[in-house]
Amino acid sequence: MKFNDLDLKNWKDTDICVDSLQIYPNRDKSGKHKNIYHGNFIPQIPNQLIRRYTKSGECVFEPFMGSGTTLFECENLNRKYMGFDINQNIINYVKSSMQSSKFSDYFIAKCNSMDLDSVNQNFISQDINSVQFVLMHPPYMDIVKFTDDQNDLSQCSDINEFMAKFKIVCVNSLKFLDKNRYFAVVIGDVYKNSEVLPLGFYCMDMIKQNFKVKLKGIVVKNIEGNRGKLGSGGIWTYRALNSDYYIFKHEYILVFKKEF
């Protein structure tokens, strides 16, 4: 089954990165991409995934929309888009960013993605039965608190609570993904109680244990120009050397194929 529009006649000219280690020199700040939301991802992530795993006109769903990075890429790449977030302020921001846009094939709403009734209602309201790609970029537990809402996954400081809630979002989201299509989870590890808590590996394991899926890729990505996380030469290098830990520079893009 063809699941993208890539022209393999010119495969040598492709800018689609198929390496499991992806290092981006800097963030794409073109168009609507403003980098105003702490905890957003670089536009190159949705751009690459959308072009690799969907065809023009197909629908991308995000249960953790954030500041609209994926929506703006769907607009650029002519894909339909559904996005939910629990944070009304960021919904308002994304709505205002789209006000002057001619692109209308999208729907965004304040919605707790753990609440199946609300998720269903939103899909019904748009007459959408299925999507062709799901992109999930959950909070990395409580390292950035997005809202005070108890249903916000960034309120979870306990790994078991986080995994239970993330599993509910996966159930609610993957039910709308067509069989044999793909989804990706973008996630980073966290540091808690003086040790690394490998959140990415927990998420990967939870998905493999609970859903009939094939794991297609564990991509490690880093942005070289990410000053907030830059290690070399900065004060964080001194702090790490003065202690016993390593500085997180990477995140994971876990790619799965749904087989149910």
Contacting range for ligand SAM; rule: CB under 6 A; set: 58-66, 117-125, 189-197, 243-251: 58-66
Q: Does 90 bind ligand SAM (CB under 6 A)?
A: yes
| Size, binding site for ligand SAM by CB under 6 A | 26
Strand 213-223, strand 106-110: pairing? unpaired
Q: What's the distance, CA 108 to chain centroid?
A: 15
Count of C-beta atoms within a 10 Å radius of residue 11: 9
Q: What amino acid is encoded at 129 in this protein?
A: N
Backbone angles phi, psi at 214, to 5 degrees: -110, 135
Using CB under 6 A, pick the residue from 114, 141, 156, 187 that binds ligand SAM.
Answer: 114
Which lies closer to ligand SAM via its Cβ, residue 146 or residue 256? 146
- The most distant pair of C-alpha atoms in the chain lies apart, rounded to whole Å, by 57
Q: Does 203 bind ligand SAM (CB under 6 A)?
A: no
As measured in angstroms, the least distance from the Cβ of 22 to ligand SAM is 16
CA separation for the pair 8, 89 (Å, rounded): 42
Q: Is 39 left (phi over 0), alpha (psi -120 to 50) or beta?
A: left
Count of C-beta atoms within a 10 Å radius of residue 61: 28
Q: Does 173 bind ligand SAM (CB under 6 A)?
A: no
Backbone angles phi, psi at 116, to 5 degrees: -60, -40
Contacting range for ligand SAM; rule: CB under 6 A; set: 9-17, 85-93, 193-201, 220-228: 85-93
Q: Please report, as residue ranges, which positions from 26 to 45 form the binding site for ligand SAM (by CB under 6 A).
A: 37, 39-41
Using CB under 6 A, pick the residue from 58, 73, 75, 85 that binds ligand SAM.
Answer: 85
As measured in angstroms, the least distance from the Cβ of 199 to ligand SAM is 12
- The answer for residues whose C-beta is within 8 angstroms of residue 2's C-beta and 6 or more apart is 55
Q: Does 147 bind ligand SAM (CB under 6 A)?
A: yes
Count of C-beta atoms within a 10 Å radius of residue 40: 20
As measured in angstroms, the least distance from the Cβ of 11 to ligand SAM is 29
Residues that bind ligand SAM (CB under 6 A): 37, 39-41, 63-64, 66-67, 69, 84-87, 90, 112-114, 137-139, 146-147, 151-154
